[in-house]
Chains A and B, each alone.
Chain A
């Protein structure tokens, strides 16, 4: 079974500073994918970044980067130069394998980030 753990229910960061949101995962699949989604107060789910288990480099998308440490089974999201608009709930998720039954993403419980001016 796959499991995603986000141990930070809430975090605060000052505007323009960097912040790291933690995510650890557990899977027995040799091939898997890790995702981060953002959910602002409006409720929609916005895809941010993806990391494949065999990717040699950490994924980056603009101000978002994924600190992938395979041996430690962690996939932390780093947001650089935080903006007020980054205030939202952030979910880590994973998909393991290609079987039909595992095409869904397994989500963590989320971290609520608040950016302070």
Chain B
């Protein structure tokens, strides 16, 4: 069964450093999402792509976060500089047109 791939699974970084996460959606899924999940809370959407275009980035802290999906397939989420409050699980999901989103295993970020 096809799955959403994410790497790395775990990342520890010092504050003020740059960090990047990678996501490879299920083949053929045009829509890709990045979520942030703080411990004890539900995921919150950071950015949504339709192919290579950003559809919604209203909750993305643009002063330090950036996301790209240059060829409309895999995607990278970057944080620069990282802050202590960025410690969270970063989840990637993808979907076809039927609104059902498939999630990857996530990247657990710890900022020290």
A pairs with B: no
- Chain B residues packing against A (C-beta within 8 Å): none
- Chain A residues packing against B (C-beta within 8 Å): none
